Structure 1
Amino acid sequence: MSRIRTAATGLVVRDGHVLLVKGDWPQPDTWLPPGGGQELGEPLHRAVEREVLEETGVIVRAGQLLFLREHIPANHEDGPIAYDRNHRVDALFWCEVVSEPSKLGGSVPDPTHTGVEWVPLDKVAGLRMIPLYLRDQLTDVVAQATAGTWQTKYLGDMA
């Protein structure tokens, strides 16, 4: 490990759909919420707003922190996803849409991204998605976050 990398990711939900990026990493046709690395001096809530805009073209306002998760590579040598070798700390925020372009697509997409879509919430369970914990809990997270009853969770060190 060479450093700790902090990142912010946005859970953006509108009209029964979740905003997801499609990519070829770690396997073809993998879906993930938009997000990425925090810049030096940038608060995490601003990082998620910037990353969602850069990757999707959607302007959001960061809301509640939903999950905080770490990934320590030395603990997951045989894990299913080959992350970079840095210790990662990822924050997932509930985000509200402020405005969106007529056509989805960001100005600074990740090189492994192949598209961005509003995916029906009831279709997410059948997708290859990272992080896995989010796919498996998405329905409950959306219901509770929408109702204002979600409690922020620290997930610890996960693959």
Structure 2
Amino acid sequence: MNEIRMRVTVVVEHQGEILVIKEKCSGHPCYNLPGGVVDYLETIPDATRREVWEETGLLVEFDRMLWVDERIDGTGNGKHTIGIGVLARLIGEDQTPIPGGLEDEEIEWAGWVPLEEFRSLPLFHPGRREQVIQALTETGYMPRYLGNMLS
């Protein structure tokens, strides 16, 4: 399978809290940020809105790009994913996520976590934690290339 896929990872901060999901996994906590694959002919802002809506039932609007990363599987099966981290703003009146996401999603829980709690939350991608904290707290933060997340 020699293909390149693109996915979006969405950081939504609201009143000092970060939107996180807990995915249905076995054996270890799978806390993550909302996100998923960008569909063919779908823009990154559209994928941002769709993924957050499907996983939490909340409406967001794309704000800006935070990082680019890659996941290149060196085992020879040809999988290569380009990840785009984005910041999104909560829009609309509803601020309460649907605890298990919308139907057909593999979401066990969705909710808001204070930034201090996020600092110690067992994330599926622990390397993501520092990028999120920097993006939300560093004055003049600029988008960054994070390299291969699988190496």
TM-score in terms of structure 1 length: 0.82
* Equivalent pair of 2:66/2:143 in contact (CA under 8 Å): yes
1:89-128 mapped onto 2 (5 Å cutoff):
89-99=82-92, 101=94, 103-105=96-98, 106-108=101-103, 110-111=105-106, 113-128=107-122
Q: By how many angstroms is 1:65 displaced?
A: 0.5
* Stretches of structure 1 lacking an aligned partner (at least 5 in a row): 78-83
Matched letter for residue 131 of structure 1:
H
Q: Is the 8 A contact 1:30 1:128 kept in 2?
A: yes
The question of whether the paired residues in 2 share the 8 Å contact of 1:69 and 1:89 is answered with yes
> Residue 58 of structure 2 contacts residue 95 of structure 2 at CA under 8 Å; is this kept in 1?
no
The 8 Å contact of residues 56 and 109 in structure 1, kept in 2 or not, is answered as: no
TM-superposed deviation, 1:120? 0.8
**Amino acid in the other structure paired with 2:80:** H
RMSD between aligned residues: 2.3
Identity of aligned residues (%): 26
The 3 A distance-change label for structure 1 pair 73 and 26 is farther
Q: Is 1:141 matched with 2:132?
A: no
Give the gaps of 5 or more residues in structure 2. Answer: none
**More helix per residue:** 1
Question: Which amino acid is 1:97 matched to?
Answer: L
How far does residue 39 in structure 1 lie from its aligned partner after superposition? 0.9
SS across alignment from 1:130: coil
Question: Which aligned segments of 4 or more residues in structure 1 are displaced greater than 4 angstroms?
Answer: none
Displacement of 1:27 in angstroms is 4.5
The residue type equivalent to 1:155 in the other structure is L
Number of residue-to-residue matches in the alignment: 148
**Conserved in 2, the CA contact under 8 Å of 1:65 and 1:91?**
yes
- TM-score, length basis structure 2: 0.86
Contact 1:30 1:127 survives alignment (8 Å): no
